[in-house]
Amino acid sequence: MPERNNYSLHSGSSVQNSQGRTVNRRLPQTPPQSAFSGKVSKRLSKTQMRFKMFSIRLGLDLPFCLLVLILVTIGLIMMFSASAPVSYYTTGDSYYYLKRQLIFAVFGIIAMIAISYFDYHFFHKLAMPILGLSFILLIAVLFWPGNSEVKRWINLGQFTFQASEFTKFALILFFAHWGAKYFDKTSTFRYGVFPALAVLVPTVGLLALEPHFSGIVIMTLLTAVMMYLYGTKLRWFVMALAGVLVVFFVLLITNKLGYAMERMDGWGQALTYTTNQMWQTTWQTRNSLYAIGSGGFWGLGLGQSRQKFLFLPEPQNDFVFAIVVEELGFIGAIIILGVFGLLVWRGITMSMRAKDKFGALLGMGLTAQVGLQVVLNIFVITDFLPNTGISLPFFSSGGSSLLMLLVQMGIILSISRNANIEKT
Amino acid sequence: MAKGNKQRFRQRAAILLSIILVTGFGAAICRLGYLSLAQGSVLSEKAVEQQLKDTTISACRGTIYDTNGKVLAQSATVWQVVFAPAYFKNDTQRQIVADGLAPILGMSVADVLAHAKKNNYFEIVKRRIESDARDKILKFIDKIEKEDGISNVIELIQDYKRYYPYGNFASAVLGFTGSDDQGLAGVEYQYNDYLTGKSGRIITAKNANGMDMPYNYEQLVPAQQGDSVVLTIDETIQHILEKYVQQEIVKDKVINRAVAIMMNVNTGAILGMAVEGGFDPNHPFDIADSATASAIKKLPVAQQSNAIAAAQLKQWRNKAISDTYYPGSVFKIITSSMALQEKVVDDKWHYTCTGSLSPAPGVVIHCSNTSGHGTQNFLKALCNSCNPAFMTIGKSIGAARFYKYFQAFGFTQKTGIDLPGESEDIFFKHDNEPEGYMDAVDLACASFGQNFSITPIQLITAISSVANGGNLVQPYVVSKVLDSNGNVVKATEPKVKRQVISSDVAAQLRSMLQTNATTGGARNGYVAGYHVAGKTGTTEKKDHLQGPDIEDYISSFCGFCPAEKPQVALLVYFDTPTSGAYYGSMVAAPVFGQCMKEILPYLHIEPQYTAEELSNLDIKADSYVGDSVAKAKNSIQNSGLTSIVKGSGDKVVRQIPESGASVPKNGTVVLFTDSKSAGEQVSVPKLTGLSMTEVNRIASMYDLNVCISGASSSGGNTSVTQDIEQGTLVSPGTVISISFANSSSDDSEDIVR
């Protein structure tokens, strides 16, 4: 199996041996100098491994798992708090959104644990088919019945999901696959830049047709992250940035961004609106700012938000964190962001110790996606970026995206099982 | 290469991690901190602004009562229409509401739409709509909620509107309120703080649809009803004053308004303050005087608004306290007090009037009687209102003492009456001389009340001090302020400022003034049965309202009653009568008499008739209808009346005057004995310009009764008015009121020439 050698990151470590999984032993031309691998091997005996919780094969990363569970729990509570009035006024049932979200959370967590047992290398093989499926979905969504001006959702009766949610995963998976496969060549244009553009450009094009401006931003950022990780030279980023700017301005001038542009209109003017039109356009952002400002340092207390009473439209979605700040205050926001930060830190450091390059790239990409979404979401609700519709992972209402997110967390946990890192 | 790659990969992962955590999360936290901490207060304030709905509850303004508890001003519930335009979902909704409400509110659709397009939660569309409009709006709200799904947009809030049940009545005292229920004039202004009450608020938390939040945010601060004010004004007295002043204004074509003030001389309480040429407090901005209003309409449009503003200011001006005038001969009461107090005059004092006097070289001042009053003692000089005599007295008093008393009588200060807009006097001004300096001419003129200006309220207050034994009181119109439970919040205690003259001097002067009102120059103000004291005044004005060549006058009369122990003082004054009659004795005195004749019995002041007066007293006619003619004639004769029988029937079918009506002593009761005679009528003859004897003779020729008022008993008086016009057809026996007044050429009036 010579192919495997290409993406085997660690060589000759004890962890590899302990598993039933067959990993090609390479000659010890590289001494086990990895600081991480050395430590782990010293501390964990085989007996210890056997009695570890979740360690049917190898233990999953308990800190990461706990962080995910904490975020899911806090997210559910806060989403419920934020959505209760809207839920009551629109459906007559305060628990409407909670119920749906809870079902998906439960299934999502089960799926997460289950997937953590799967060998993520399975996805290595599936990378290209999944990318293909992503394109099919992106095309299908444009013609899917039920969408009006904005074509983002694929409606399967009870179950609705955003096509771009899948695209994000497909994109990360593709880059992990590609990066791992051609790790030594990715600094070249042919292996590093060209395939990235080949995937990104049609994706962005299809997203622009939906239109889905925030999707474009996230896809582009994720592509950049993955390219950066697999070693694309920095000059390409500079050039790409220039290219993006050019494209952006062309679109700006030709006024093709339509929907996103309309949202951009009120950017930064939520509090300084001058026209009725502006007042209407910036309604959501303004009320988000009011909510955040009302929170102060200590917040109004859990459940005490006033802005959720129909002032802030759809408080259960992208703007849920504004209600969180209103209720839990700046201190609550810092704690939650701290948990997110720990998650990102754990996800990336753990991925660094993944068994192979594919696992490392995939884990980092999926983790970075969570971190980016958190940052972008907060930028949006604080009127730091235009209101473009970026949801907050674990918090924003939306069953399919929560399920998708937890599946991805499951993949990270699966990577962690084989990672050379202390998992308690 | 592989190792280099691996290291670079780890390095890049670490950089990525730090970029996300430090840059991304750091920026997010900074931004959140900036908004929630630095901008927190600003943003939360705005949030609260949209979340809390603060509704003001108007307080019901207190009531104004007359002294007997009759309501003179009252607030009634009305409604204000308020939009919360932010809850409109689109322009279609705005249009529906505007189209529906405009006709109910009597506004244009565009106006209503303009309100609906605002971006707030409290937009007053119209204030003070009445209950019927409110009912219509409530129905409309129901309808649009059901049919168009528009809710929480229109609200009706309780409000109050001021009503003045008597209309144009006592308006100078009551004043009026403005659009925000705030007092703008009169008692409404002066006692605004008491009357207003405290508006309350309801603060409720509302969601973005304007519905109450399921939170207990509601806070209610109830409105406190304003205190009520009880005036010293007596509605009956006020009506009597206004009635006769208005009559006189019409009769003698008074062009610059007129005033009547009645004061309780002992307390300073104002019982009535009629300022004619006023306004209807229900519509204070309308020009009440129809002549003025139509004159304004004829003006070019550009000048109309100024003219309207001027006319409004004029009608709002309380002439009784805001306008100053030369008091004229009425002021001789004050000069007399000084003279008596300072013993400048005594029993032996006498003065020979030659018709004029020169107070200073080159200045000659004439007496009204240019041929001179001859030798007079002080009483005679007062009754003749002899100007040279008073100039001489003034000179004896001297400028310094004169000014000292002038100050003591309160003419240099506001009286402190509890009404807004009181003016100060205008005294002689000389450069480089101290305040109060008068030269010889000033002093001479001041002695008979010319060339310095005071307000009517100052004058009646000063004269009240003569009436009450020398005490200068502070006039007031509000006796009590009551809270909504009827507890007294504030009661006005009568305030005596100082004793100006001794009670002996006051008593002496009262008897002189009584003589003056009985047989002297003021006898036209005499009221049969009552010991009236008074003084007339005819002021020469300097403003020539009628044109440069015509002299303008103010006719005034001030007196009190009963002379021995006065209770009430009354000042009447007519600014610029233009009918030709302008003497105080001709214009003002009869009004004084008419008012007093009705008011004194109302005040339960017992009449003390002289024998002559008793013989002239009216008799109430009994009912004779149904009696036989013989029986009726007999009983009529027994009651001191004469009878005339008309027709040929046996029984009386009708009588004039009717049962219960008053018949003058020695009057005639006409008995009709059949239906033919009952319809008989006579044409009223001219009964003015005649002597008493002539009036009686002519009246009996026509089988008419006459009721005499005014100073008929004195010689030389002629009848001046008759209440039923010449030529009117009336039944025989009808009583015609004739008023007499002195109009002889030797009337001692004080005209300066």
* Tens digits of residue pLDDT in A121-155: 888 888 999 999 999 999 999 888 877 777 888 88
- Contact call for residues B518 and B419 (beta carbons, < 8 A): no
Query: Which amino acid is it at A78?
Result: M
Contact B13 A229 (CB under 8 A): yes
**More confident call, B411 vs B347:** B411
Q: Is residue B476 part of a domain?
A: no
Strands B350-353 and B258-264: unpaired
Lowest mean pLDDT among A375-379, B147-151, B612-616: B612-616
Contact A360 B17 (CB under 8 A): no
Q: Is residue B312 part of a domain?
A: no
Strands B488-491 and B154-163: unpaired
Residue B751: pLDDT over 50: no
**More confident call, B478 vs A248:** B478
- Contact call for residues B420 and B176 (beta carbons, < 8 A): no
B738: CATH: 3.30.10.20
Residue B37: pLDDT over 50: yes
For the record, the structure tokens of B523 come out as: 């006898």
Looking at B176, B210, B226, the residue that finishes a domain is B226
Those residues whose C-beta lies under 8 Å from the C-beta of residue B205, and which sit 6 or more positions away, are: A306, A309, B51, B52, B53, B212, B213, B215, B217, B218
Report the candidate in B645, B703, B647 with the shortest Cα–Cα distance to residue B679. Answer: B647
Can you give the pLDDT at residue B210? 60
Looking at B209, B226, B243, the residue that finishes a domain is B226
Q: Is residue A47 part of a domain?
A: no
What residues in A contact B151, CB-CB < 8 Å?
none
B153: CATH: 3.90.1310.10
Rounded Cα gap, residues A297 and A301, in angstroms: 11
Rounded Cα gap, residues B239 and A343, in angstroms: 91
How does pLDDT run across B659-715, given as a tens digit for each residue?
777 777 677 788 888 877 777 788 888 888 777 777 877 887 788 887 776 654 555
What is the residue-averaged pLDDT of chain B? 84
- Contact call for residues A380 and A386 (beta carbons, < 8 A): yes
Tell me, what DSSP letter sits at residue B254? B
For the record, the structure tokens of B355 come out as: 């018709």
Contact A311 B16 (CB under 8 A): no
Q: Is residue A110 part of a domain?
A: yes
Tell me, what DSSP letter sits at residue B212? B
Phi, psi at residue B660, to the nearest 5°? 90, -20
Contact A306 B2 (CB under 8 A): no
Residue B253 pLDDT grade (very low, low, confident, very high; cuts 50, 70, 90): confident
Those residues whose C-beta lies under 8 Å from the C-beta of residue B606, and which sit 6 or more positions away, are: none
For the record, the structure tokens of B640 come out as: 């001191």
Q: Best mutation site among A282, A290, A300, A339 for testing chain B: the one with the most B CBs within 10 Å?
A: A290
How does pLDDT run across B210-229, given as a tens digit for each residue?
665 555 456 677 888 889 99
What residues in A contact B203, CB-CB < 8 Å?
none
Residue B353 pLDDT grade (very low, low, confident, very high; cuts 50, 70, 90): confident
Q: Best mutation site among A26, A294, A342 for testing chain B: the one with the most B CBs within 10 Å?
A: A294
Can you give the pLDDT at residue B716? 59
Phi, psi at residue B746, to the nearest 5°? -90, 15
Q: Is residue A293 part of a domain?
A: yes
Nearest CA in chain A to B24: A375
Those residues whose C-beta lies under 8 Å from the C-beta of residue B552, and which sit 6 or more positions away, are: B256, B540, B541, B543, B544, B545, B546, B576
Q: Is residue B611 part of a domain?
A: no
* The total number of structural domains that make up chain B: 2
Rounded Cα gap, residues B530 and B523, in angstroms: 12
How does pLDDT run across B20-33, given as a tens digit for each residue?
888 899 999 999 99
Rounded Cα gap, residues B364 and B361, in angstroms: 8
Contact B43 A184 (CB under 8 A): no
The label of the residue with tokens 């509704």 reads B55
- Considering only the beta carbons, identify the residue of B28, B43, B119 that sits closest to A375: B28
Q: Is residue B703 part of a domain?
A: yes
Q: Is residue A330 part of a domain?
A: yes
Contact B17 A307 (CB under 8 A): no
Can you give the pLDDT at residue A259? 52
Report the candidate in A186, A188, A198, A185 with the shortest Cα–Cα distance to residue A226. Answer: A186
For the record, the structure tokens of B686 come out as: 């001219």
Contact B21 A333 (CB under 8 A): no
Residue B77 pLDDT grade (very low, low, confident, very high; cuts 50, 70, 90): confident
How does pLDDT run across B81-96, given as a tens digit for each residue?
888 887 787 888 888 8
Provide the phi-psi class of B716: left if phi over 0, else alpha when psi is between -120 and 50, else beta.
left
Between chain A and chain B, the number of residue pairs with CB atoms below 8 A apart is: 153
Residue B511 burial (10 A CB sphere; 0-12, 13-18, 19+)? middle
What residues in B contact A310, CB-CB < 8 Å?
207-209
Rounded Cα gap, residues A4 and B159, in angstroms: 86
Domain hosting B137: range is 53-63+73-163+194-226
User: CB count, 10 Å around CB of A41?
Assistant: 16
Label residues B402-421 b or e (16+ Cβ within 10 Å = b): bbebbebbbbbeebbbbbbb
Tell me, what DSSP letter sits at residue B225? P
Please spell the DSSP secondary structure of B420-469, one letter per residue: S-PPPPB----TTS-TT---HHHHHHHHTT-SSBB-HHHHHHHHHHHHTT
What residues in A contact B42, CB-CB < 8 Å?
293
Domain hosting A259: range is 56-417
* Per-residue three-class SS string for chain A: CHHHHHCECCCCCHHHHHCCCCCCCCCCCCCCCCHHHHHHHHHCCHHHHHHCCCCCCCCCCHHHHHHHHHHHHHHHHHHHHHHHHHHHHHHCCCCHHHHHHHHHHHHHHHHHHHHHHCCCHHHHHHHHHHHHHHHHHHHHHHHCCCCCCCCCEEEECCEEEEHHHHHHHHHHHHHHHHHHHCCCCCCCHHHHHHHHHHHHHHHHHHHHHCCCHHHHHHHHHHHHHHHHHHCCCHHHHHHHHHHHHHHHHHHHHHCCCHHHHHHHHCCCCCCCCCCHHHHHHCHHHHHHHHHHHHHCCCCCCCCCCCCCCCCCCCCCCCCHHHHHHHHHHHHHHHHHHHHHHHHHHHHHHHHHCCCEHHHHHHHHHHHHHHHHHHHHHHHHHCCCCCCCCCCCCCCCCCHHHHHHHHHHHHHHHHHHHCCCCCCC
Can you give the pLDDT at residue A370? 95
- Contact call for residues A362 and A170 (beta carbons, < 8 A): no
Peptide bond into B562 cis (omega under 30): yes
* The total number of structural domains that make up chain A: 1
How does pLDDT run across B639-663, given as a tens digit for each residue?
777 788 888 778 888 887 777 777 7
What residues in A contact B7, CB-CB < 8 Å?
none
- Considering only the beta carbons, identify the residue of B17, B29, B215 that sits closest to A337: B29
User: CB count, 10 Å around CB of B183?
Assistant: 24
Those residues whose C-beta lies under 8 Å from the C-beta of residue A271, and which sit 6 or more positions away, are: A286, A289, B46
Nearest CA in chain B to A353: B10
- Considering only the beta carbons, identify the residue of B37, B117, B207 that sits closest to A296: B37
Rounded Cα gap, residues B76 and B431, in angstroms: 56
Query: Which amino acid is it at A98?
Result: L
- Contact call for residues A14 and A41 (beta carbons, < 8 A): yes
For the record, the structure tokens of B409 come out as: 């009588």
**Angle at the Cα of B121 from the Cα atoms of B117 and B125, rounded to 5 degrees:** 60
- The mean pLDDT of B294-315, rounded to a whole number, is 87
Phi, psi at residue A356, to the nearest 5°? -140, 175
Rounded Cα gap, residues B720 and B586, in angstroms: 9
Helical (H) or strand (E) element with B125:
strand B123-129
- Contact call for residues B138 and B157 (beta carbons, < 8 A): no
Rounded Cα gap, residues B338 and B349, in angstroms: 15
Q: Is residue A19 part of a domain?
A: no
Those residues whose C-beta lies under 8 Å from the C-beta of residue B180, and which sit 6 or more positions away, are: none
Contact A364 B213 (CB under 8 A): no
Rounded Cα gap, residues A192 and A183, in angstroms: 9
What pairs with residue A149 in β-bridges?
Answer: none
Contact B36 A309 (CB under 8 A): no
Contact A290 B27 (CB under 8 A): no
Q: Is residue A259 part of a domain?
A: yes
Q: Is residue B705 part of a domain?
A: yes
Rounded Cα gap, residues B272 and B166, in angstroms: 15
User: CB count, 10 Å around CB of A130?
Assistant: 18
Residue B745: pLDDT over 80: no
Those residues whose C-beta lies under 8 Å from the C-beta of residue A63, and which sit 6 or more positions away, are: A342, A346, A423, A424
Q: Which residues of chain A have pLDDT under 70?
A: 1-58, 254-266, 268, 274, 276, 424
Those residues whose C-beta lies under 8 Å from the C-beta of residue A190, and which sit 6 or more positions away, are: none
**More confident call, B185 vs B205:** B185
Rounded Cα gap, residues B292 and A132, in angstroms: 93
Phi, psi at residue B693, to the nearest 5°? -60, -45
Nearest CA in chain B to A224: B16
What length is written for chain A? 424
Q: Best mutation site among B12, B25, B36 for testing chain A: the one with the most A CBs within 10 Å?
A: B36
Rounded Cα gap, residues B581 and B592, in angstroms: 16
How far apart are the two ends of chain A, measured CA to CA in Å? 33
Contact A184 B5 (CB under 8 A): yes
User: CB count, 10 Å around CB of B129?
Assistant: 21
